[in-house]
Structure 1
Amino acid sequence: MKLFITLFIIVGALVLIVIILPQLTSKETCTHEETVQKFAKGKFVTVDGKKVHYVEAGDGPPIILIHGFLYHAVMWKKNIDALAGKFKVYAIDLWGWGYSERLGEKEYGFERYGKQIVGFMDALNIKKAALAGQSMGGGISVYVAAHYPEKVDRLILVAPAVIPYPMTTIGKIYQSPFIGEFMNAIPGDALMKNNIRTVWFYDKTKATEEYCKEVLQPHCIKGSYAGMMFILRNVLKEPYVEKEADLLSKMNIPTLIIHGREDLAIPLDRSKRLNELWKGSKLVIFDRAGHSPHEEYPEKFNKLAVEFLS
């Protein structure tokens, strides 16, 4: 009898979700074109037939900044000007994020993103560049360096998604079939904002309402959430780019690894292991910092990055 009741509740909940879900999915209210016209502040280039949005600044040796999951080029807002004093900075929006074009939900992956970065470089005639990537962007940077070493001068990896790590509790909830879609469909951005404040930042007050709004603004573009869920469930799963990490251990690409001691998304010990694997790498730990140490302590990060790249 208890089993029957449990099954009845589960089936009832699923039916309820299926019925209610279509009524709730109202967040994706914008087309790519209208959102770009209203909010995009950078430039566009076409790569493999798809538009790529990027912010460009400065002059000098090139560095490409690659954001992580959930974000876009805005995550480097406090770093671009400082780096642009000595370098040509390109802060890119990966496909599916920010103001770059959306792909079919099953088209996302490290390989596709790696080709996006290389295609971006070719389109702008960038022969070789330093890559700086945060979280998923760090994994993409590693993929590019391993498969296209002639394209990469140096690496800056911020809390990189390279060595497998346990998914956070909220991440596991979002990965669950139906439940993830249901949570995404709940009106408003309160859940996402709370996630940003509690996971990406140690000091929650730094993730202001204005900041969160700017991060989440492009999520209104149709196709954003389907791509996000596919990446969360299929791309950000083991073994990530461990194979590429092994390849890079045999190469000689100078690498700076930066990690927040209080990072709740990717444990610090993953970057420690990566540092041990790559004998030529340097690990710098930011105390009282979460998953985005370059945003929490921009002056410290900018100084380290400029010194490392110079």
Structure 2
Amino acid sequence: MPIAIIDDQPLHYVDQGSGPVVLLGHSYLWDQQMWAPQIAALSQKYRVIVPELWGHGDSGPLPAQTHSLGDLARQALALLDHLGVAKVNLVGLSVGGMWGAPLALLAPERVNSLVLMDTYLGAEPEATKKAYFALLSEIEQAGEISGKVLDTIVPIFFRPGIDPNSALYKDLRHSLRVLPPDRLRNSIVPLGCLIFDRKGALEGLSRLNPNRTLVMCGDEDQPRPPAEAQEMADLIGCKLIWIPKAGHISSRENPDFVNEALLRFLEEHA
């Protein structure tokens, strides 16, 4: 199991395939499985690296030195240094984009191309921030994600009307239900607070290379509505692709469309 010690904690990552490097950043409350269809498709032509967020998958606890999305970007760079990787094509979905764009701005010489999926570099709107913090407080106090909280959280990730008996829905619900109290309190909750209390960083987007940046968004994304994707694409001046029949985790809800779009973009830019 590939592990790198970053900020004194074990960071687990997937490293599969060979060729130009594609670094995939996954969503909060998911793990490498969020990218399973993309790992399978992209690793035929590329070296695909997928770090798992702290407290997620097989990664260790959130390091004490982690206070911002910039720290997540710095830690991802430390992983690349550990692996001897000079340059990547970065694809970040949700929080993966929230640290992916700062990484591209912090070390532009390390990022060959950038795809921002179902993400937003602005501050969290106050109403949703308040709602998320209430849920995080409830999880911290209970030491578990209760059935009632799961009924609120799980549907957010998918397009409206998803079948709650589908494997995708049931697998996510089960993975969250069995998270142990120490992982929730020491990693999941504080990381969630860090994400949802982020400072807006939209002003930096104009410094990204519009010819090597792509914004993609599920056309039925609920937590990151398409208007946010449009705003970012306009600020960057880059192409925007709508992913049909997909919510927030578009990589799993419409994997064939996402794979085709990524392969086409990488063919031109990797």
TM-score normalised over the length of structure 2: 0.86
Which has the higher mean CA deviation after the structures are superposed, 185-194 or 267-276? 185-194
Match of 2:179 among 208, 216, 219: 219
Residues in 1 aligned to 2:47 and 2:89: alpha-carbon distance in whole angstroms: 10
Distance 1:150 1:106, change over 3 A: closer
Q: What is the 5 A alignment of 1:110-121?
A: 110-121=69-80
Q: Which runs of 5+ in 2 are unaligned?
A: none
Q: What is the 5 A alignment of 1:55-204?
A: 55-104=14-63, 107-166=66-125, 169=128, 172-176=130-134, 180-184=136-140, 185=142, 189-191=146-148, 193-202=150-159, 203-204=161-162
Residues in 1 aligned to 2:65 and 2:82: alpha-carbon distance in whole angstroms: 25
Deviation at 1:70, TM superposition (A): 1.6
Distance 1:106 1:223, change over 3 A: farther
Distance 1:270 1:84, change over 3 A: same
Q: For residue 51 of structure 1, what is the amino acid of its counterpart?
A: P
SS in 1 for 2:121: coil
Residues in 2 aligned to 1:103 and 1:165: alpha-carbon distance in whole angstroms: 21
Q: For residue 254 of structure 1, what is the amino acid of its counterpart?
A: R
Q: For residue 256 of structure 1, what is the amino acid of its counterpart?
A: L
State the partner residue of 1:21.
none
Does the 8 Å contact 1:136/1:160 carry over to 2? yes
After TM superposition, where is structure 1 displaced by more than 6 Å over at least 4 residues in a row?
Answer: none
Distance 1:58 1:104, change over 3 A: closer
Q: For residue 278 of structure 1, what is the amino acid of its counterpart?
A: I
Q: CA RMSD in A?
A: 2.5
Residues in 1 aligned to 2:102 and 2:242: alpha-carbon distance in whole angstroms: 23
Deviation at 1:80, TM superposition (A): 0.7
Deviation at 1:196, TM superposition (A): 4.8
Q: For residue 283 of structure 1, what is the amino acid of its counterpart?
A: L
Residues in 2 aligned to 1:98 and 1:190: alpha-carbon distance in whole angstroms: 21
Residues in 1 aligned to 2:71 and 2:49: alpha-carbon distance in whole angstroms: 19
1:78-120 Cα distance to aligned partner (Å, 9 max, x none)? 2110111111111111223222111356734211101111000
